[in-house]
C-alpha cells in the first residue's frame, strides 16, 4: 500500500494503511531476527537445502510462536488464557502445562503445514529492509499524491504501535495530502486488524463513501 502511494501517486484515488509503518524499528527487526535464527538453528534446515528431506519444522514452529506473541497484547492473553493450567499437566515437566503454552504449540505446529521455512526467512528479511523514506525527508515522500488517505491504528498494538501510523499521517499532511486518522480502542494488539471487523467496516465504509462523493473524512476521528 505505502509503496504504491509513493511509486504511483497519480493512479491512486484512496488509500487505507492499517496498523503499519514506513520502516521497521530495531525492535521490529529484532523480533524477526529471533524467528529467523530459530529456523536456521534447526538441523533440518541445512542452509536452505532441505527440499526432498525432513523439513525444519521445529525451528519454523518456534518462529511462528514468537511471531504470534507479538500479534497479541498482555490484556488479550490474560483474557484468553489467564494462568489456567491444563487438566492433564505433569508437575515439573517441560510439557505444555499452561493453556497459553498449548495454544502457542498448536499455532506453531499448524503453521508448518502450510508455510515454507525459506519463504519465511526471505519474506521477513524483505520486510525488515523495506524503508519507504529511503533517504527522502518526511515532508517530501508523498509529494504528488492525489489520493485521500485514511490511516487506522489500534491502541494496544505494540508490534506496530500507533505512533508509527501517526508518522504516516504527518508525512501526508506535510505533503499537502488529504489524510485522516483513527485509533481504535481495542485490546487485541496487532491481531485487532483481523478481529475488529465491525468497527473497521463502519469506518472504511464511511471513508469510501466520502471518497466516492468527492469528500474525505472530516478531521481526525477516534473510536
Ordered by where they begin, the domains of the chain are 2-23+133-212 (3.40.50.1820), 27-129 (1.10.1740.110)
* 149 contact partners, CB below 8 Å, separation of at least 6: 5, 14, 15, 16, 17, 168, 169, 172, 177, 178, 179, 180
Longest Cα–Cα distance in the chain:
64
Phi, psi torsion values for 49, nearest 5 degrees:
-100, 60
Q: Provide the pLDDT for residue 219.
A: 44
Coil, helix or strand at residue 167: helix
Cβ(160)–Cβ(19) below 8 Å: yes
Cell of 18: 492499517
Where the chain has pLDDT below 70, the residues are 89-92, 215-223
Q: Provide the pLDDT for residue 215.
A: 67
pLDDT averaged over the chain?
92
Q: Provide the pLDDT for residue 155.
A: 96
Amino acid at each position: 500500500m505505502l509503496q504504491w502511494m509513493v511509486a504511483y501517486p497519480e493512479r491512486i484515488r484512496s488509500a487505507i494503511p492499517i496498523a503499519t509503518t514506513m520502516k521497521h524499528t530495531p525492535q521490529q527487526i529484532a523480533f524477526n531476527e529471533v524467528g529467523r535464527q530459530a529456523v536456521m538453528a534447526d538441523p533440518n534446515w541445512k542452509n536452505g537445502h532441505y527440499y526432498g528431506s525432513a523439513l525444519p519444522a521445529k525451528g519454523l514452529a518456534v518462529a511462528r510462536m514468537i511471531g504470534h506473541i507479538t500479534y497479541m497484547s498482555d490484556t488479550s492473553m490474560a483474557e484468553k488464557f489467564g494462568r489456567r493450567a491444563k487438566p492433564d499437566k505433569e508437575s515439573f515437566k517441560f510439557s505444555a502445562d499452561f493453556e497459553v503454552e498449548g495454544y502457542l504449540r498448536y499455532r506453531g505446529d499448524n503453521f508448518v503445514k502450510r508455510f515454507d521455512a525459506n519463504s519465511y526467512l526471505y519474506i521477513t528479511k524483505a520486510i525488515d529492509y523495506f524503508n519507504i523514506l529511503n533517504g527522502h525527508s518526511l515532508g517530501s515522500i508523498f509529494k504528488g499524491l492525489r489520493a485521500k488517505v485514511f490511516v487506522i491504528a489500534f491502541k494496544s498494538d505494540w508490534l506496530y504501535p500507533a505512533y508509527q501510523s501517526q508518522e504516516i499521517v504527518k508525512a501526508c499532511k506535510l505533503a499537502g495530502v488529504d489524510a485522516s486518522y483513527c485509533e481504535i480502542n481495542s485490546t487485541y494488539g496487532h491481531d485487532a486488524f483481523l478481529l475488529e471487523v465491525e468497527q473497521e467496516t463502519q469506518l472504511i465504509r464511511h471513508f469510501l463513501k466520502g471518497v466516492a462523493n468527492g469528500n474525505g473524512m472530516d478531521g481526525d476521528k477516534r473510536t
